[in-house]
Structure 1
Amino acid sequence: MTTTDVSPTETGWNLADVWETIASGLGDALAQQQGARQISWTEMNRRANGVATAMLAIPGAAEQDKVAQYLYNCPEYLESTFAAFKAGFATVNTNYRYAADELVYLWDNGDVTTVVFHGTFADQIEAIRDRVPRITTWLWVDDDAGPCPDWATPYEAAAIAGTDENVSGAWGRSGDHLLLLYTGGTTGMPKGVMWRQDDLFGVLDANNRMRLPPEQDLNAVDARATRPGPRNMPGAPLMHGTGLFNAISNLMVGGSITTTVGRSFSAEEFLDSVEQYDINSSSIVGDAFAKPILRALEAEPDRWDISSLRVIVSSGVMWSKETKDGLLRHNDRLIMVDALGSSEAIGMATNTTTSESVSDPNRQTAQFQLGPNTRVITDDGNDVVPGSGERGRVALRGRTPIGYYKDEAKSAETFVIIGGERYSIPGDYATVEVDGTVALLGRGSQCINTGGEKVYPEEVEECLKRHPAVADAAVVGLPDEKWGESITALVEAHPGATIESQELRDHVKANLAAYKAPKVVFEIDTVGRANNGKLDYRALKQRALDLAAK
């Protein structure tokens, strides 16, 4: 371990270098807050130094060791990210809804050696510790859920031991150092999207009015961050790219991040916090967040002053025109952005709604303006002709991930060379209108997106089939006003068996994350598998719609 002022990297931008520079310049300005807790840039840097020191003290610590964050939204999430980047380690997001088998798979696949976790998860970890022997260090974040386990180390003790001397591993830092963003994608088990910090910085900085140069220049960072930046509050979890990347982007310009105290989304707490802390921007996941906010505002129109809120970004799930129009009635200065992107491709296209655009009779939520590095291509690599009605996949070139961690086959499918240029093609299908806008059709697979969470039908189906009453099962997503899509199961019973809907839901929740359990279960004679074992999901979805309508 070394304590040194790190010089600019030759391999591009490193986020730890950037944030240390901002901390040096802004000092007492607010960096993070949650409830009564307020943490300045100086304090966040000092605390991250302490945590980085603790990480580097682990016997056998090596460059790009993996640090998993098993946390709800809290200051420690971004603080431990800062610490890991200081140390030259890579971060691994962890979905706190995962059950035992999913956690074991994630941490094993990600080669995780350190886990930062909220105390409330101690029992879940205790049950699987012997299944993840590579993990040697557990940093316990106290949340009043009980005492620190004897196999863990208090996070706070490491944080308060930090000093103003910036910490780095013996190997230094690099723009090549990774952030691993595990995503469900569209099929299979979660995959770790490998973002170089230099590429992530570049794609996030592209949206700033005062952009920084392509090569790391910390003097330029210092010149840009001369005063505190905007105040951001993630509505979405930091464990997902929507919340995390928006928060990182805000910190890159010297802004602050406010996290709510509640661990499930509350429109009332969201609006209280916007007013109390003069929040300027937020990240959400479609109508699952926006509709409750609008309902609260409509129910008590004089309760909240949300005039400070200028930008809401939604990524992962589109939100409806009606909801956006409703929010504008309560804040006519609001800018609402649908961001077409994914863990594998940031900034493919956008759809922006303002008070000026509401009067456009042709405005549609599903229509996007392509970014400068985005194309819609056919399966043979040609551009879709505008107005042709032809379907293609949205492809992004430029700053993209370098692949999926330890999965060359999947990487080759998603990250493709076309005309000598490398493209990320996550699987979003679209048509191109005559005016050049794209109409999003959705993913080509059967992936269900419920409240921003990706759910694979096959995974839930296999779980259902393990129940003794179930002979076969099919799972589809049906339109849902709140969640975007609701998981719906069509099951056929073994002869003489009885299907109990709640029992099946409980069975899924006992084996998978609770959000993967079907909200509705329909018993049918047969799911109609073909001879090759495949299901006709289009026909099954229509059957589920028909049953739901009865």
Structure 2
Amino acid sequence: MIHSLSLSDVLADHARSRPQVTAVVDGAVRLTYPELDARVTRLAAALRARGVAKGDRVLWLGQNAHAVLELLLACSRLGAVFCPANWRQSADELRFVVDDLSPAAVAYEPSDVTQALRQEGWVQAGEEYESLVATGQEQEFPQVDDAEPVLALYTAAFDGRPNAALLSSAALVAHATSLLVVRQMEPVFTFLNNGPLFHVGTMMFCLATLQIGGTNVFTPAFDPEEVCRLIDAERVTQAFLFGGMIDAVAKANESGKYDLSSLRFVAHSAAWDGMITVDDSPWCRSKMGGYGQTEVGGMLTFLGLAEGGAGFAGRPSPLVQVRILAPDGTEVPAGETGEICARGKTLFSGYFARPDLNAEKSKNGWHHTGDLGRREPDGTITFIGPRLRMIKSGAENVYPAEVERVLKSHPAVADAAVIGVPDETWHQTVKAIVALKPAEKASEADLIDHVRTLLAAYKKPRHITFVDSIPKRGFTPDYDALDEAHGGGNYPGA
């Protein structure tokens, strides 16, 4: 395994080469890299003594804490798989995760939900968790292949049921390396984990900080005042902040009580820019843009690699390939819409216990993201939206997501969904179901003209039905319900 480099290996090397660097800050807990490495070894030994073996799953039910990073690294040392679940979910949703994942060990923070789910042998965060770590004995662990899955993150339930995407150490190290280059991270980089660690957006920065030998600061969840305090106290370089979160932090520091100048971040507003150091890295200059998903380890493309480009998703990460493919697997020409497909070092290993879905997602040697995109003439990528299904009108392919995106850009439209309805001449024609914003008005002709000005004529809806709301399945329109209610059918391949 001379070429293998697991997350456990990264930690072990930092323990040797950065003996005085603080690896973790979590409230009163402060750990150097050697101290973190020793705790991870003891935790791995304790989990092994409880029966956790290679390939087994370990589940965390709780908010952000240093235990999340420790459990992930301990699983890397064991060859097991760690999953931080979405603590915001209901008891029924988390029960699905527990049943689906069949974890060999569970650590949890007490709440009404976890108390309802708790089973014998689960370890409570705090004293029980610390006792578990203390019981572990210093010992050697065999080398683990970095191609083995180590992290499981549940994806959004777009089809009504979430799936656990499995990411290997090799994929996570590759993605972290790409990110730290685009972000221009340095060894003194300090990241505030205030976003949810069950989300790849926070986890990818946590692991990039580990990769560069920086400091990870943990706080349970986003609290503007506490974010200000920690940025000041720990001289934080980067935090998980977007849009309204930035406004909330700026408001919490209106008095100037906290020194936020260590934060090297994206420009946002005059008040915000005056508090921080506006960063000049490609990541921040491009407003932290790009296209990504859990299955690609975080970011597949970076806007920071294509400043001034036509496509607002940028160009691919240096360690992946991206193609825009037609349904038959052929690459579509620049300017045409197709599915964003990828392969490369940062991609996931498939979904846990979903063989049929894995076969579908990896057909022809490419990961099919399920999202639509377009390659612009300058080679950059534009993200359009979820693929979900296709309408065949004459010889032309029409993707509902593309038309929906344009419809929702109309100022009077609150939501929209597009279906195909049978047509004797064209096989299918496009029909839109639209919900208008309260007190707004728009006619069928208005919206059809709006689409016609932005898309090819064959993509415009022939008919529009106005409704109060669009039925959903998970996060996306319930197309089956819409077909039944509005005469949809004749889809290619059906």
In the superposition, the TM-score normalised over structure 1's length comes to: 0.64
Q: After superposition, where does 1:321-470 map in structure 2 within 5 Å?
A: 323=268, 327-328=272-273, 330=275, 331-333=277-279, 335=284, 336-346=287-297, 347-352=299-304, 366-372=312-318, 373-386=321-334, 388=335, 390-399=336-345, 400-417=347-364, 422-445=365-388
Q: Partner of 1:30 in structure 2? A: 22
- Matched with 1:268 is 225
1:175 to 139, 142, 146: 146
Structure 1 CA distance for aligned equivalents of residues 356 and 18 of structure 2: 45
Q: Give the Cα separation in 2 of the matches to 1:109 and 1:476.
A: 36
Per-residue CA deviations over 1:496-524 (Å, capped at 9, x if unaligned) read xxxxxxxxxxxxxxxxxxxx99xxxxxxx
Pair 1:39–1:339, CA change in 2 (3 A): farther
Q: 2:248 aligns with which of 260, 272, 292?
A: 292
> What is the rounded CA distance, in whole Å, between the counterparts of 2:271 and 2:375 in structure 1?
28
CA distance in 2, matches of 1:42, 1:326: 40
The match for 1:506 is none
Aligned counterparts of 1:13 and 1:477: Cα–Cα separation in 2: 53
Identity of aligned residues (%): 21
Shift of 1:232: 1.1
The question of 1:138 aligning with 2:112 is answered no
Taking the TM superposition and a 5 Å limit, the aligned residue runs for 1:103-142 are 103-118=94-109, 120-121=110-111, 123-129=112-118, 137-142=121-126
Q: CA RMSD in A?
A: 4.0
Indicate if the aligned counterparts of 1:398 and 1:423 stay in contact, CA closer than 8 A.
Answer: no
CA distance in 1, matches of 2:83, 2:256: 42
Which residue of structure 1 lines up, in the alignment, with residue 235 of structure 2? 278
Give a deviation string over 1:424-448, Cα, whole Å, max 9, x none.
2222222333333223222234999
Is residue 235–residue 289 contact of structure 1 (8 Å, CA) maintained in 2? no
Q: Deviation digits for residues 344-387 of structure 1, max 9, x if unmatched?
A: 11432112499xx7xx7x989x442333522223333333433x
1-side partners of 2:231 and 2:55: how far apart?
37
The residue correspondences of 1:492-531 to structure 2 (distance < 5 A) are: 529=481
Task: Report the secondary structure of 2:303's partner residue.
Answer: strand
Using the TM superposition, give the Cα deviation of residue 157 of structure 1 relative to its aligned residue in structure 2, in angstroms. 1.0
| Aligned partner of 1:13 among 5, 27, 30 | 5
Aligned partner letter, 2:263: L
1:10-30 deviations in Å (ceiling 9; x for gaps): 572211122112112222320
CA contact (8 A) 1:34 1:75 kept: yes
For the structure 1 residues 13 and 183, does the alpha-carbon distance in structure 2 shift closer, same or farther, using more than 3 Å as the test? Answer: same
1:160 to 116, 120, 134: 134
Paired AA for residue 72 in structure 1: Q
What SS does structure 1 have at the residue aligned with 2:46? helix
Which whole-Å CA distance do the structure 2 matches of 1:90 and 1:203 have between them? Answer: 18
Q: Under a length normalisation based on structure 2, what TM-score does the superposition of the two structures give?
A: 0.71
Greater relative contact order, per chain length (Cα 8 Å cut-off, separation 6+): 1
Distance in structure 2 (CA, Å) of the matches to 1:431 and 1:291 = 33
Give distance in 1, aligned partners of 2:171 and 2:62. 25
Instruction: Say whether the 8 Å CA contact 2:108–2:125 is kept in structure 1.
Output: yes
8 A Cα contact 2:157 2:163, kept in partner = yes
Report the equivalent of 1:4.
none
Alignment correspondent of 2:444: none
Please give the alpha-carbon distance, in whole angstroms, between the structure 1 residues aligned to 2:435 and 2:236: 38
Residue among 89, 93, 96 paired with 2:80: 89
Long gaps (5+) in structure 1: 1-8, 131-135, 143-147, 149-153, 211-224, 313-321, 449-456, 458-473, 480-487, 493-515, 518-526, 537-550
Q: Equivalent residue for 1:496? A: none
CA distance, structure 1, for counterparts of residue 102 and residue 481 of structure 2: 38
Residues 290 and 438 of structure 1, relative CA distance in 2, 3 Å threshold: farther
> Deviations along 1:121-154, whole A, 9 cap, x unmatched?
3x43342346xxxxx6312112xxxxx7xxxxx1
Contact 2:46-2:136 at 8 Å conserved across structures: no
| Paired residue secondary structure (1:31) | strand
Please report how far the alpha carbon of residue 283 of structure 1 lies from its aligned counterpart in structure 2 after TM superposition: 3.1
Give the letter aligned to residue 203 of structure 1.
Answer: H
Question: Take 2:39 and 2:351, find their aligned partners in 1: how far apart are those partners?
Answer: 31
Written as runs of structure 1 = structure 2, the 5 A alignment for 1:146-225 is 154-162=128-136, 165-168=138-141, 172-178=143-149, 179-184=151-156, 186-209=158-181
Pairwise CA distance, 1:490? 3.9
Superposed CA offset, 1:161-199 (max 9, x none): 456x3542xx65221331222212532311111222223
Contact 2:45/2:139 (<8 A) preserved: no
Task: Choose the corresponding residue for 1:253, options 177, 198, 212.
Answer: 212
Change beyond 3 A, Cα 1:411–1:21: same
Deviation at 1:115, TM superposition (A): 0.6
75-84 vs 428-437, which moves further: 428-437
For 1:478 and 1:11, locate their aligned partners in 2 and report how far apart those are by CA, in whole Å.
Answer: 56
In the alignment, the residues of structure 2 paired with residue 13 and residue 47 of structure 1 have an alpha-carbon distance, to the nearest angstrom, of 20
Match of 1:520 in 2: none
C-alpha deviation, 1:528, in angstroms: 11
The aligned amino acid for 2:230 is S
Over 3 Å counting, the alpha-carbon distance change for 1:228 and 1:385 in structure 2 is closer
Residues in 1 aligned to 2:245 and 2:92: alpha-carbon distance in whole angstroms: 29
Q: 1:202 to 1:489 in 2, by over 3 A?
A: farther
Structure 2 residue runs without a partner (length 5+) = 389-399, 405-415, 417-432, 439-466, 489-494
Give the match for residue 465 of structure 1. none
| 3-state SS, counterpart of residue 186 of structure 1 | coil
Give the secondary structure class of the aligned counterpart of 1:236: coil
Letter in 1 for 2:102: D
Q: 1:530 to 1:369 in 2, by over 3 A?
A: closer
Number of corresponding residues: 404
Q: What CA distance in whole angstroms lies between the structure 2 residues aligned with 1:295 and 1:137?
A: 44
User: Helix, strand or coil: the match of 1:392?
Assistant: strand
